[in-house]
């Protein structure tokens, strides 16, 4: 009976979002729409009626989705990716919409206004089911955000995504490392895990920590402040060459990093075959469907190279349960999404989780852990 109710709820909310809400939201310019939706989320999560309504419309729970990763318990493996809640303002809303966890940020050591051109830093590619992003790490800075979140109780695991302040074209190794360390220290008793973002494609000085010597220096510094009860993950780009991925993976294994977030946005030049419309802006990087195959291939490769001994969070192009399950069976322990929620609606979170339950049952699995890597050649040897 409950499954029938959930199915009916999914059909109604999907129809309503697709034919009523989304056409209205898409009338706004993309960055304005993002800010407006955040405001609506804050309003709903701030009062009892709103919270109750969110839970009735979107929440879904099933015991087979429970999973433990690096000592942290997750009600389900579907989380919010960094890049949506850049200032950590909506943590009360995420559990009600069905997310099993949420990654906040990226937060930077100093206040960061992001790239110039407010109102022209996001572009929807509707036919491609993608967002062209040129934000450039805009956020209020680690100190202010940590002060606001200090002492707050979270109802789901929270990841703290840290990046280097995007304020200069000149890369100075020690200044950059100190910037990361400032954020890590500010959030030492806030959140459940850290993600060190070395892969933002929209910064002035590029991605200098793809270089092994630079990455070793950063990981060595982080090793000195790493907390035993808080896992540390590294987020890498979608469009690295295989040898670059291997260098990062091997270095992370050497420094006993707990896991990798795979992957960040993809540069348009790497995603041409998935683009269905011409770009009208010559900067930025792509989310959504154009990065789906790239990220899943990286998940599969990293799982093979590490022989499944390191945590993998899969990100990129998750729009339904099949997309999430492909990443899980390729080797991902957890899944993150943003663009799928924008195009499909917030009800897609519960629908993905409901679909995962069916897929697990179909394959004879009783838990997410059993499915991780099950269709990767490593598990088939």
- For 176-190, what is the mean pLDDT? 96
| pLDDT of amino acid 169 | 86
Tokens of 359: 């897929």
pLDDT band at 107 (very low <50, low <70, confident <90, very high): very high
With 80 as the cut, is the pLDDT of residue 273 above it?
no
Please choose, from the candidates 204, 340, 171, 337, the residue with its C-alpha nearest in 3D space to the C-alpha of residue 283.
Answer: 204
pLDDT band at 204 (very low <50, low <70, confident <90, very high): confident
CA atoms of 236 and 98, how far apart (whole Å): 26
| pLDDT of amino acid 227 | 78
- For 187-196, what is the mean pLDDT? 96
In b/e form, how buried is each residue of 120-133, taking b as 16+ CB within 10 angstroms? Answer: ebbbbbeebbbbbb
CA atoms of 45 and 59, how far apart (whole Å): 14
Which secondary-structure segment (H or E) carries 30?
helix 30-45
| pLDDT of amino acid 205 | 81
Are 354 and 321 in contact by the 8 Å Cβ rule? The answer is yes
| pLDDT 10s digits, 231-241 | 999 999 998 99
Q: How far is CA 300 from the centre of its chain?
A: 18
Higher pLDDT, 309 or 274: 309
Whether the bond between 336 and the residue before it is cis, its omega within 30 degrees of 0, is no
- From residue 139, give the alpha-carbon distance in Å to each of 112, 146, 200, 204: 5, 12, 14, 16
With 60 as the cut, is the pLDDT of residue 345 above it?
yes
Any idea which residue has 């200044």 for tokens?
A: 175
Are 335 and 78 in contact by the 8 Å Cβ rule? The answer is yes
The pLDDT > 70 percentage for the chain reads 98
Q: How far is CA 27 from the centre of its chain?
A: 26
| pLDDT of amino acid 60 | 95
| pLDDT 10s digits, 125-170 | 999 999 999 999 999 999 999 999 999 999 999 999 999 999 888 8
pTM above 0.85, yes or no: yes
| pLDDT of amino acid 302 | 97
| pLDDT of amino acid 381 | 41
Are 255 and 282 in contact by the 8 Å Cβ rule? The answer is no
- For 199-228, what is the mean pLDDT? 89
CA atoms of 367 and 92, how far apart (whole Å): 27
Q: How far is CA 107 from the centre of its chain?
A: 14
- For 70-93, what is the mean pLDDT? 97
Tokens of 347: 């009800």
With 80 as the cut, is the pLDDT of residue 379 above it?
no
List, in sequence order, every residue forming a beta bridge with 168; answer none if it has no partner: none
| pLDDT of amino acid 58 | 95
| pLDDT of amino acid 2 | 79
pLDDT band at 36 (very low <50, low <70, confident <90, very high): very high
């Amino acid at each position: 009976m409950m499954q029938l109710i959930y199915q009916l709820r999914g059909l109604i909310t999907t129809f309503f979002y697709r034919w009523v809400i989304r056409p209205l939201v898409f009338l706004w310019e993309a960055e304005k729409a993002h800010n407006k939706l955040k405001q609506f989320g804050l309003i709903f999560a701030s009062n009892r009626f709103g919270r109750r309504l969110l839970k009735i419309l979107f929440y879904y729970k099933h015991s087979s989705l429970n999973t433990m990763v690096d000592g942290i318990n997750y009600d389900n493996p579907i989380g919010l990716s960094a890049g949506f809640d850049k200032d950590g303002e909506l943590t009360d809303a995420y559990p009600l919409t069905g997310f099993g966890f949420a990654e906040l940020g990226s937060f930077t050591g100093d206040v960061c206004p992001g790239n110039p051109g407010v109102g022209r830093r996001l572009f929807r590619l509707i036919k491609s089911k993608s967002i062209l992003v040129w934000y450039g790490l805009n956020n209020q800075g680690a100190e202010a955000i940590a002060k606001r979140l200090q002492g707050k109780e979270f109802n789901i695991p929270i990841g703290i995504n840290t990046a280097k302040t995007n304020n200069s074209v000149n890369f100075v190794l020690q200044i950059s490392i100190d910037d990361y360390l400032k954020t890590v220290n500010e959030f030492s008793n806030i959140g459940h895990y850290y993600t060190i973002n070395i892969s933002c494609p929209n910064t002035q000085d590029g991605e200098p920590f793809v270089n092994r010597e630079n990455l070793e220096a950063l990981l060595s510094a982080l090793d000195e402040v790493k907390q035993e009860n808080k896992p540390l993950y590294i987020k890498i780009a979608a469009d690295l060459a295989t040898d670059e991925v291997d260098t990062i993976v091997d270095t992370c294994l050497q420094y006993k990093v707990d896991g990798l977030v795979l992957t960040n946005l993809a540069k348009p030049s790497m995603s041409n075959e998935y683009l269905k419309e011409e770009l009208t802006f010559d900067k930025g990087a792509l989310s959504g469907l154009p990065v789906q195959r790239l990220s899943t291939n990286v998940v599969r490769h990293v799982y093979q190279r590490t022989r499944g001994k390191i945590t993998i969070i899969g990100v990129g192009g998750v729009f339904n349960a099949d997309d999430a399950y492909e990443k899980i069976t390729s080797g991902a322990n957890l899944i993150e999404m943003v663009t799928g929620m924008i195009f499909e609606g917030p009800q897609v979170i519960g629908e993905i989780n409901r679909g995962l339950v069916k897929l697990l049952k179909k394959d004879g699995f009783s838990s997410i852990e059993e499915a991780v890597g099950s269709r990767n050649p490593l598990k088939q040897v």
